[in-house]
Amino acid sequence: MKSLAAGILLCALPAPLHAWEPNAKDLDTAIKSGDFSGYLTNTTAWLDQKTPPKPGENALGALLKDPVLLMVLDQRQLIARTGAAELGSFAKADPANQAFLTWLLRNTPAMDLYLEGCVPLGLAAREQDAYTLSTAALERWKDILKADPDAKDGLYLKLAIATAIAPPGTGSPGAGQAKVQSTPVDRHLHFKTAHQNKELFPSFDHLTVWEYSKVVQSGASNEDLAWARQMINTWRPDLKVNEMVVNSTSEVWRRNSPIPFDNSYQNVLAGGGKCGPRSSWAVMICQAFGIPSIGVGQPAHACVAYKTAFPMTEPQPGSAWKVGYGRGWPFSKLEGMGGLDFLAAVQDRAHAVEFSQVEHLRWLASALTKPETATAIMEVAHKIQKSLAEVKTDVTASLKPEEAEKEVTPETKAAKEAAAAPQGPAKVATGATRIEATGFSSMSGVKVCACSTGGKQVNFQKNIESSWVDYPLEVSAAGTYSLGLKVAAANVEQVFEVKAGNSDPVTVKVPWSKGLWDMTPAVDIKLEMGPQTLRIAAPYQRGVAVRFLELKSK
């Protein structure tokens, strides 16, 4: 509504007769001619005229509430940071570009989102206000708007801007990244569809443009991002509790991978890797679910930084941004700055109202020709910035690299209750008998998870020398039965050992299902008539989920 009112007011203003005033005619002329130099000069002089010589905090607060002044300030900042000549060339290149600029330069909320999303992260660069904006981002934004009419406001507007300023493949490079990157339009539509299908975490709804950029810039293919969500939902749904999918980094085997990555994150998870591939995996799996994340460099090491909706979780309780699987913030480098400077910068951005005020005051100060007035404005900006509360946390803490081999996700209360409730015997008759994976009487080294398709599943955990589940049976007729298990496994060359009663164990090969449900190849087992126990055991392995068992008489 603010932008609509400002736009109506601007259009209602007549062309100036004497001193220049903002008006629709001059703006349209600049856009159609591709000459923004005169408009830039006029907006600068007008802002000079409107700003008191010695402005205080109250006077500046009132200025920033003036819809016309706010719109003109945004227009001036966008033209100045893009360059009048560069923006003019963009306008003259295509009538569609002129239509896009006509919409954008009258839309204060859209300009605010774009300009604030493009503000450099580091404090020094923000103070200088000398960074540049690219017309390539405007080109991408225009294309996304053409493909998605919903991208003119709300969440999808922010998503469109983020994808325009940080297209696919501009994030942290690493193992598994797509050889050919998705187009910005396809990436925007991928996350829009995933959001509409409720595939992303709830925290995705509440991100800023800059935070969305740390999601959509993923170098993973859209196919890998979709697979990653489906894989976690299937194989490790427990990691969705408190949005802790970053802990799937512990599933990337710490070794030199025997499998070529071949631009596929599926192979990274199956093959494993040292710190580089693990860092790449951690960043991607967060982004797949809509969590902002960034690769981190440390001395002789690589790890991950990510934003959580649950700041009190480990590591660094209290901080929304965390660095994991390495050393703490003082040892980190990311986004061209040290970890402590990065943490301070994102904490500034977390105060959205104050951050917007400070940045708009910077833009106003940089537009003015009187140094003493600009200095007074910056004093107010610094006062607002210094008033923000600092997050208290242990910045040296982190999940250590060796902890990526441990299970760090606690079982839920429901899972513990299910594991503690032994089941009665399953009646095995002629034909087919399906036994739920949770129908066991005793177990060791496994945990019960809620299955994404309903019901529950059993997860054999990794790095346990001996894990097993016992199923009590009541067999109506002795004989040979075929046994198959519905399993999900993200790693290769895994097996179960199945033993019924006093018979010799039979080996069941677990297919590499890439973390999705699949049936094991059927094996034959002999069952005696009457009560007996079927034990499924796993040797030292990398973790397998089981949904059900199926016995068929032969």
Strands 466-475 and 456-460: unpaired
Task: Return the CA Rg of the chain.
Answer: 29
- State how far the Cα of 182 lies from the Cα of 216, in Å rounded to an integer: 10
Asked if residue 475 and residue 376 are part of one domain, the reply reads no
253 and 394 share a domain? Answer: yes
Q: What phi and psi values does residue 60 have, to the nearest 5 degrees?
A: -70, -35
361 within a domain of the structure (yes/no): yes
What residue type is 448 in one-letter code? V
CATH number at residue 245: 3.10.620
Tell me the pairing of strands 442-444 and 544-553: unpaired
Same domain for 94 and 143? Answer: no
Does residue 541 lie within any of the structural domains?
yes
175 belongs to a structural domain: no
Q: What stretches of 257-370 show up as alpha helix (H) in DSSP?
A: 265-271, 275-288, 339-350, 352-367
- Model pLDDT, residue 292: 98
Quote the pLDDT of residue 10.
54
Can you tell me the distance from the alpha carbon of 493 to that of 274, in angstroms, rounded to the nearest whole number?
A: 20
**Domains of the chain: total:** 4
514: domain range? 413-553
Amino acid 414 reads A
Same domain, 51 and 190: no
213 and 239, same domain (yes or no): no
Amino acid at 543: G
* Same domain for 344 and 262: yes
The answer to whether residues 29 and 64 belong to one domain is yes
Cα separation, 337 vs 271, in Å, equals 32
Query: Are residues 394 and 250 located together in one domain of the fold?
Result: yes
CA contacts within 13 A on the Cβ side of 434: 6
Are 291 and 245 a contacting pair, CB within 8 Å? yes
120 lies in a domain?
no
Together in a domain, 476 and 373: no
Does a structural domain hold residue 207? Answer: yes
Same domain, 395 and 382: no
Residue 333: phi, psi to the nearest 5? -130, 130
pLDDT by 10s per residue, the chain, length 554: 444 444 445 554 444 445 899 999 999 999 999 999 999 999 999 999 999 988 899 999 999 999 999 999 999 999 999 999 999 999 999 999 999 999 999 999 999 999 999 999 998 888 888 899 999 999 999 999 999 999 999 999 999 999 999 999 999 888 999 999 999 999 999 999 999 999 999 999 999 999 999 999 999 999 999 999 999 999 999 999 999 999 999 999 889 999 999 999 999 999 999 999 999 999 999 999 999 999 999 999 999 999 999 999 999 999 999 999 999 999 999 999 999 999 999 999 999 999 999 999 999 999 999 999 999 999 999 999 989 878 888 888 886 655 555 554 445 454 455 555 667 899 998 889 999 999 999 999 999 999 988 999 999 998 888 899 999 999 999 999 999 999 999 999 999 999 998 889 999 999 999 999 999 999 999 999 999 999 999 988 889 999 999 999 98
37 inside domain:
yes
Dihedral of CA 214/409/398/492: which sign?
negative
Say if residue 378 is in the same domain as residue 398. no
127 assigned to some structural domain: no
State whether 213 and 337 are in the same domain.
no
In a domain, 102, yes or no: yes
